[in-house]
Amino acid sequence: MARLIYRVYVIELSKKVFNENAKFRAANPQFNGVLECLYVGMTSKTPQERLQQHKTGYVNAKGHDLSSSIVKKYGIYLRPSLYNHLPLMNQADALKMEKALALELRRKRYAVWFN
């Protein structure tokens, strides 16, 4: 049975990301500039640990950089009010929830980046 150790988290990004990153802008044509720019991710760490990994860079044992360059450059702080209601999940469910939450936030007119 899959262990329930994964969580989805949200990081607020500087609005500079919208002006400076063409891929981010293209992914968010619904954004009207009013609400925040966000990053949605999933992790087996605490959200605080994962934010720190993004900001400082995190290379796993296989040599893959698992930090987001968008969060490294534009990440400001965690937005727990947008994810604290979500339960711990197994990895497969967390991947689905990450996408579902990102799309829900986009429908609410946030600009969102996720993998």
pTM given for the model: 0.93
Domains of the chain by residue range: 7-113
Query: What pLDDT is recorded for position 59?
Result: 87
pLDDT in tens, 28-53: 999 988 899 999 999 999 999 999 99
- The structure tokens listed for 57 are 């860079």
First to last CA, the chain: 25
Question: CB of 91 within 8 A of CB of 6?
Answer: yes
pLDDT in tens, 66-105: 889 999 999 999 999 999 999 999 999 999 999 999 999 9
Out of 8-12, 59-63, 85-89, 95-99, least confident range = 59-63
Burial 41-76 (b: 16+ CB within 10 A, else e): bbbeeebeebbebbeeebeeeeeeeebbebbeebbe
